[in-house]
Amino acid sequence: MGEPLVSVLLPTHNRPAWLAEAVASVLAGEFTDLELLVSNNGNPEHTRELARAVPDPRVRWLEQDPSTGMLENFRAALGEAKGRYVAVLHDDDRWAPNFLAALVPPLRHRPDAVLSFADHFLIDAAGRVNQVATERNSRRWGRTALAEGYHQPFPELAARQSVAVTGCVFRRDAVAASALSPGVGPCYDVWLCYLLACTGGAAHYRPERLLYLRWHAGSDTASRDLAGPRSAIECHGQMLGDHRMRAYAGVLRQRLARDHLSAGATLLRDGARRTAREHLVASSRMRPSWKATAGLAASWLAPTAVLNRI
């Protein structure tokens, strides 16, 4: 048996029920020329139990040290990939049956294509589609008005964050795992799209919802962890300094203003008033907003008990 055409990376951390659903969505898909690398940095028994229930030879089960972070877990899986193309699925999401069947052919058709992606649904913790939030999300990230087909070059897609990492397939030799430095942290998806855009290659967009992205209290987009905003500030700051992204400086400044606002709010909740102020001032300078102004006022005047509820 030769090397698989596609390596599917599935980093996981203590979500055994959703992990089983994610694994099933890959293995039951229409596209079969693949390997699935499940890389676990959580409870080892979660994946061992699932491995016993899913004796599929296409699956490789990788165990990482529990102290391994999100980025390191992803990089470990990427370093093990053997396929010509790579797709990523998070353990709380799932794919439509034709996900790979739809996104791999555009990469095979054009050697200069480095990325193929689609739109996605937003689902709740129980797996129910939120249609209103889905439509709003597609508009927010610029996919509603995006033309079907190839886009080259595609720095705008990187600046606007139009590509969800779990909603795409990319060429493995277009980006090295070493290029994902520790500073990018949980925002490795933003940085990955930026690195692919920097190759000058093409990205293909299919305006079909092929991914079910789960929104829940523990998801990165919904959590109040400071790591997310800090890594976003690192990524967007470096992108803003890149001359290739100059045409999208306004978009990136908006992103940075939002990142600093998120960091400021998180720090206020933690009682770190002085550091919070630094981020809120940075946010105001990039894009004045009532939220940043209110946050600054709260950093001086609000009692600690009030800050905890921000």
Nearest to 99 by CA among 32, 19, 181: 32
- The C-alpha atoms of residue 167 and residue 193 are separated, in whole angstroms, by 12
Could you give the C-alpha distances from 8 to 38, 153, 169, in angstroms and in order? 8, 25, 9
Q: What are phi and psi of 308, to 5 degrees?
A: -65, -20
- The C-alpha atoms of residue 58 and residue 263 are separated, in whole angstroms, by 41
Give pLDDT, residue 220: 56
Domain of 278, in residue numbers: 227-307
Q: Which two tokens stand for residue 213?
A: 């992205």
Q: For residues 294 and 173, state if they share a domain.
A: no
Q: For residues 190 and 246, state if they share a domain.
A: no
Which amino acid is residue 53, in one-letter code?
Answer: A
Residue after which a domain boundary falls, among 158, 191, 214: 214
Give pLDDT, residue 122: 97
CATH number at residue 199: 3.90.550.10
Q: For residues 42 and 85, state if they share a domain.
A: yes
Nearest to 213 by CA among 6, 15, 18, 60: 18
In which element (H, E) is residue 34 found? strand 34-40
Number of domains in the chain: 2
Give pLDDT, residue 306: 75
For the chain of 310 residues, list the mean pLDDT of each consecutive stretch of 10.
91 92 97 97 89 94 89 93 97 97 98 98 96 97 96 96 94 91 89 96 98 79 73 95 95 96 94 95 95 93 79
Residue after which a domain boundary falls, among 182, 214, 246: 214
Q: For residues 234 and 197, state if they share a domain.
A: no
In-domain check, residue 221: no
Q: Cβ distance 39 to 76 under 8 Å?
A: yes
Instruction: Kindly provide the b/e burial profile for residues 230-241, where b requires at least 16 CB atoms within 10 angstroms of the residue's own CB.
Output: bbbbbbbebbbe
Give pLDDT, residue 208: 97
Give pLDDT, residue 222: 46
Give pLDDT, residue 68: 85
Residue after which a domain boundary falls, among 169, 184, 214: 214
Instruction: Kindly provide the b/e burial profile for residues 24-50, where b requires at least 16 CB atoms within 10 angstroms of the residue's own CB.
Output: ebbeebebeebbbbbbbbbeeebbeeb
In-domain check, residue 222: no
Sequence-distant (6+) residues with CB within 8 A of 249 are: 240
Q: For residues 210 and 239, state if they share a domain.
A: no
Q: For residues 210 and 277, state if they share a domain.
A: no
Coil/strand/helix, residue 217: coil
Q: For residues 24 and 117, state if they share a domain.
A: yes
Give pLDDT, residue 308: 75
In-domain check, residue 64: yes
Q: For residues 70 and 26, state if they share a domain.
A: yes
Q: Cite the DSSP H helix spans in the chain.
A: 16-27, 44-53, 70-80, 99-109, 131-140, 155-159, 188-198, 227-240, 249-269, 273-286, 290-301, 304-307
